[in-house]
Structure 1
């Protein structure tokens, strides 16, 4: 019984069309190279190859509706194989005033170095402060860093009653902030 419940809750919501949101996001990311890896999964890159990241569709069931969120995933080699996890968020109640880095696992000395670098990197701050992200996680393990950024745009809302589908576009301005943030995070994590 428990296995059947887990299988039912782990299923994609009815009406979910793998790859549709990815194709919409692909239009918003025009000018980048694209390679389809699977339905709902694609790899994007700059023409010069300086930045390569994946975009993953994440369907999320709600009552009489579902969301298709997109997660931008950037990977790069790490200097150490030790595991660590961090979450970044905006600070400030009404206005974004800065970034807060919370360590969820790993060596506290690494957390202190990372927080110091984040605070000192003006280019990264200028890209992340106006960026409308829901989640930003930095994970290190098995000799690799993985950046997982879930943006508020580039997602789809699908409702059953009343029936509608709406794609939340990734604006040109947010696209530029996103690409700059991923580029600077890649650079910042290069020697950590």
Structure 2
């Protein structure tokens, strides 16, 4: 008769417009070609085809409001096999002092070379240190690496009371760092 509380929280929040945030992301990433995929997903590619990644909307319902976050997804072929999951975060409480890598699945000793590259690659560090990301995961399933980066920008806040909708832009500096990070991940993971 009445839906359970878990079903209530899983449904899309009222006021959510699938794809509306992605239209604004297209404006922020005008330097790339955009192609609509199934659902609230867009594929972006550089003119030379050297970088191809997807952006999908992630909706988080909260009391009388919801967030529409964007997740940047890059896939890179892997030379190895086996399940791996690595979480990356900034180190430092007040100032960013480096990148911390936590192995959530897989053999940490077998991944030591990759972890050293992730912590020490100059191009990757130069891009990740100023980048404002909320979540960054690297996963390997089969013969494919998947990088999932949830940026703080390129997201939308929708409030029902008082009613407002605000898009948080992906500013040019952050866009540059994001694209550099995706290029660097492609280079580093392509060798692993």
TM-score, normalization: structure 1?
0.95
- Aligned residue in 2 for 1:100: 100
Whole-angstrom CA distance in 1 between matches of 2:76 and 2:109: 21
Equivalent residue number for residue 136 of structure 1: 136
SS in 1 for 2:67: strand
Question: How is 1:1-192 mapped onto 2 (pairs within 5 angstroms)?
Answer: 4-192=4-192
1:49 CA drift (Å):
0.4
| Unpaired stretches in structure 1, ≥5 consecutive residues | none
CA contact (8 A) 1:21 1:40 kept: no
User: For 1:92 and 1:83, how far apart are their aligned partners in 2?
Assistant: 29
**CA–CA distance in structure 1, aligned partners of residues 5 and 119 of structure 2:** 45
Q: Which has the higher helix share?
A: 1
Secondary structure of 1:108 counterpart: coil
**Cα drift, residue 5 of structure 1:** 4.5
Contact residue 101 and residue 119 of structure 2 kept, 8 A: no
Q: Give structure 1 regions of 4+ aligned residues with deviation exceeding 3 angstroms.
A: 3-7
Out of 101-110 and 62-71, give the one that drifted further: 101-110
Number of matched residues?
192
> How far, CA to CA, are the matches of 1:106 and 1:115 in structure 2?
12
State how far apart, in whole Å, the 2-side matches of 1:113 and 1:159 are.
45
Query: Cα RMSD between the aligned structures?
Result: 1.6
